[in-house]
Structure 1
Amino acid sequence: MAAYGNTLGALLLGALLAVFLSGIVSMQVFVYYRLYPNDRFRIKSTVTVVWFLDLVHTIMICIANWLYLILHFGNGVAAQEILWPISVTIALTAVVTFLVHIFFAHRVYSLSKRKLLIAGPISVLALLRVVSAMSCTAEMVHDGTWKKFGEGSAWLFTTGLTISAVLDFVIAIALIVHLQKSKTGWHSMDQIIDSIVLYTVENGLITSIFAVLSLICWVTMKNNLVFLALHFAISKLYANSFLATLNARKTLQQRSQKSSNDANQLPLVFPNGLGRSGRFSTQPVGANPIGSIMQISVEKTVHCVTDAGDGDESPVRLSEEERQDRTMDSTRKR
C-alpha cells in the first residue's frame, strides 16, 4: 500500500514533463499552421486531431494528479486505485500513437514505391498496438486497483509497450534504408539526405527510449507508479515527432534549392575535341543540368518523407519525370 503512495511524487514529475512537452506540441502546431496554410485537408485535419487529443491528454493528467495529490492527500488506499483519468490517458496515448505510426507507415509506403512488404506489417502492428491499449483501458476500469490489474492483465500493458518500441525501430530502419537508396552521389545533395536520416533516427530513438524505459519500470516495479510517470510523456513525444517531421519540410526544401543553385555554378570539364585548343577546357555554365536533376531527386525524396503521397500526386510526379527526361536529352545534344 505504501509503495504506491510513496511514488506519487514521480507521478507529479511525469505530469510536469508532460505539460512541458504539450506546450511544445502547441507551439509546433502554431508554426505548422503559419508555414503550411495550403496543405492537404487530410494532413491539416490529422494535425488538428493530434493537437486536440494531446490537449485532452494533458487535462486528464492534471485531473489525475489533483485527485491523487490534493483530493486524496495522505490516503494510502486511494493511491492503490486506478482513477478514471488514468484509464483515459492510456486510451488517448494509444490513439495518438496509432495516428503517428500510420503516418510514418505511409512515408515508408511512398519511399518504397508503393510496396506493402514493409508498410503492410507496420500498419498491422500499429492496429494491434491500439487494440491492446484499448483492451488495457477496459481492464483498468474493470479491475479498479493497480494490484488486481498487475495480477490479471499486466500482459496487455506489456504487449502494447513492446509493440510500440518495436514499431519505432522498424519504421526508423525502413526509412533509413530507403533514404540511402535515394542518394544521388552529389555531395551537397547527399548531405540533405543525411539530414533527413538524422531526423528519422532522432524521432524514432526518443520515442523508443521512453517506451522501453516505461516497459522496464512496469515489468520490474509493478508495485509503484514510476512507469506511469514515464508513460505520460510517450503521447507527447509521438505528437512532437509527427509535427517536427511536417515542419522540417520548409527547411529541407530551402537547403535543396540552395544546393542546386551552387551546383548550377560549378564548371563543366569538356574532353578533347570540344575545346579549340585540343586540351581539356573548363567553362562555367549558367544552368547545369546535373544540378537540376539532383534537385529534382532530393525534392522528391523530401516530399515522400514529409508529405502525403497519394494517387492525386501522379501528375506532379509525371511532370518531374518529363523535366528530367528533357534535361537529359538536352545534355546528350550538347
Structure 2
Amino acid sequence: MSALPSVDRFFGGFTVATCLSFILYGIVAVQVYEFILTCTKDPRLVKWVSVIVCVLETLQTSFLLHVLYHYLIRHFGDFEAAQQIVWTVPAAIATERAVVLVVQTYLLLRIWVLSNRSRVLVSFLTLLLAARIAVSIEFLYNYSHVHSWREAFNDHITYAMAVTTLVLGVVTDLALTMAFTYYLLRDRTGFHTTDSVLQSLVRFSVNTGGITFANSMVMLFTYVFVEDSLLSPGFISISSKLYANSFFAILNAGHKLRDRAALLSSYHTPGVQMRNLREMGRTTLRMGTPIDVGILQVQESDANQSQTVVIDGDELPFKISEKYDSSPERPNFGFSVEP
C-alpha cells in the first residue's frame, strides 16, 4: 500500500458497498417477515436457525454503521486516524463468517436429505466448508493482531490467509449450488404442478447461488488486484446479506412448494383425489410414473359432481365438491385420462 492514497480511492468503494449492504438488509427484513407469516409448520430447528441468521445480520449491520460513523464522522478529515483498524471491522467480518457457516450448513443438511444420505458427496462438501471456516478463523486471529490497514495489506501471512479463504469460498459456493440444484432436478415428480414449483425452487437456488458465487469472485479479485482501497471489505459486508437472502428465499420458496403440494390432495385437483389414491392397496404410485385413469360414469348436479374411475381394474367412486375447479384449461398431473 502506498504512503497516502486518496480518500475517495481508499474509502469510496467501501462506503458505496456498505450502503448497498444496508439496502440488502431491508430485503432480508422483507424475507423474514414473509417467513414469519408462513413458518407455522416448519420444524423448530429451522425456526431457530432463522432467528440466528436474523440476529447475526442485525449485529453486522450495527457494526457497519459504527465503522462508517468512526471513519466518516468522528475522524472526518483525519486520514492518519483513518489508517487504524477500528474494532468493529473484524467484528463485522466475524459475523459474516458466522452467517456463511449457518447458511451453508443448512444447505449441506438439505443436500444430505435430497441425496438419500450420499456419504461421499456430503463428506466432500463438509470438508470444503470445514476448511473454509478453519482458514477464516485463522485469518481473523491474525487480523486481530493487526492494528492498521497498512499492516493488513503488507503482512504476508494475513494476505495468504485472506486469499485462501476467498478461494475456498468460491469453490464451496459453486459446489453447494451445483449439488443442491442437481438433486432438486433429479427429484421431479412427473406432476406438472409440483414440477413447476420445483423449477421455481431451482431458479431461486441458481440465482441466489450464482449471485453469492459472483460476489465471492469479486471479493477475491478486488483483494488481489485493487490496491490502496477497502473495496474488498465492502463486498464482504454485501456477502453476508446475500447469504441471508439466499437462505430465506429458499425457505419461502419451500413454503410455496408445500402449499402447492397440499392443493394436489384437495378437491381442487381435476378428476382424482390424490389422498385417496395413495391409500389404495393394489395401486402403487411411483414418482414420475403416469397411470391410466378411465372415467366410466359421470353424474352432475348443481350441488356436486360424482364420478367413477377404474384404476388397475378397481372401480373407485368419489365425489367432487362444489369447490371443484371446472376451468377449461386443466393442468396435467401425470394422469392419462380416457373419456
Are 1:331 and 2:331 an aligned pair?
A: no
| The structure with more helix, counted as a fraction of residues | 1
Equivalent of residue 88 in structure 1, options 62, 86, 91: 91
- Verify: 1:155 aligned to 2:160, yes or no: yes
Secondary structure of 1:3's match? coil
Q: CA deviation at 1:81?
A: 2.2
| Residue among 90, 104, 124 paired with 2:107 | 104
Counterpart of 1:287 (choices 268, 272, 277) is 272
Distance in 1, Cα, partners of 2:267 & 2:55: 43
Shift of 1:4: 6.4
Structure 2 counterparts to residues 5-154 of structure 1, below 5 A: 5-6=7-8, 7-151=10-154, 152=156, 153-154=158-159
Q: Mean alpha-carbon deviation: is it higher for 199-208 or for 112-121?
A: 112-121
CA drift at 1:253: 2.7
Unpaired runs of at least 5, structure 1: 266-285, 294-321
1:218 maps to which of 215, 223, 244: 223
Q: In 2, Cα distance between the equivalents of 1:51 and 1:326? A: 48
Contact residue 64 and residue 83 of structure 1 kept, 8 A = yes
CA–CA distance in structure 1, aligned partners of residues 210 and 128 of structure 2: 18
Residues in 1 aligned to 2:179 and 2:265: alpha-carbon distance in whole angstroms = 27
User: Residues 161 and 29 from structure 1, CA distance in 2 versus in 1: closer, same or farther, beyond 3 angstroms?
Assistant: same
One of 256, 260, 275 as aligned partner of 1:251: 256
Deviates more, 1:324-333 or 1:53-62: 324-333
Task: Judge which range, 76-85 or 48-57, deviates more.
Answer: 76-85
Mapping 1:161-176, distance limit 5 Å: 161-176=166-181
Residues 139, 149 of structure 1: 8 Å contact kept: no
Which of the residues 209, 217, 225 maps onto 2:214?
Answer: 209
CA spacing shift, 1:102–1:325, aligned 2, 3 Å: farther
What are structure 2's unaligned runs of at least 5 residues? 286-309, 315-339
Kept after mapping to 2: 8 A contact 1:164/1:211: yes
Structure-2-length-normalised TM-score: 0.76
Q: What is the CA-CA distance between 1:78 and the residue it aligns to? A: 2.5
The match for 2:232 is: 227
Structure with higher Rg: it is 2
Tell me, in whole angstroms, the C-alpha distance in 2 between the residues paired with 1:186 and 1:242. 26
Q: Give a deviation string over 1:92-112, Cα, whole Å, max 9, x none.
A: 111100110100011110100
- Report the Cα offset of residue 262 of structure 1: 9.7
Confirm or deny that 1:182 pairs with 2:187: yes
What is the CA–CA distance in structure 2 between the aligned matches of 1:183 and 1:234, rounded to whole Å?
A: 31
Alpha-carbon offset, residue 47 of structure 1: 0.8
| Count of residue correspondences | 285
TM-score w.r.t. the length of structure 1 is 0.78
Answer yes or no: is the 8 Å Cα contact 1:192–1:256 preserved in 2. no
- Preserved contact between residue 4 and residue 79 of structure 1 (Cα < 8 Å): no
Say whether the 8 Å CA contact 2:267–2:273 is kept in structure 1. Answer: no
Provide the alpha-carbon RMSD of the alignment.
2.5
Q: Deviations over 1:297-329 (max 9, x none)?
A: xxxxxxxxxxxxxxxxxxxxxxxxx74865428
Q: Supply the AA of the counterpart residue of 1:5.
A: V
Q: Which amino acid counterpart does residue 33 of structure 1 have in structure 2?
A: I
Q: Distance in 2 between matches of 1:4 and 1:171?
A: 40
Q: Deviations over 1:274-312 (max 9, x none)?
A: xxxxxxxxxxxx3166x988xxxxxxxxxxxxxxxxxxx
Identify the structure with the greater strand proportion: 2
- Partner amino acid, structure 1, of 2:284: M
Deviations 1:114-144 (Å, cap 9, x if unpaired)?
1222222222222222222222222122121
Percent identity of the aligned residues? 26
Choose 42-51 or 139-148, whichever is displaced more. 139-148
The letter for the 2-side match of 1:237 is L
Query: How big is each residue's C-alpha offset from its partner over 1:258-283, in whole Å with a ceiling of 9 and x where there is no partner?
Result: 56779953xxxxxxxxxxxxxxxxxx
| Deviation of 1:231 (Å) | 1.3
Deviations 1:119-173 (A, max 9, x none): 2222222222222222222212212122222222111111222212211111111
Shift >6 Å, 4+ stretches:
259-263
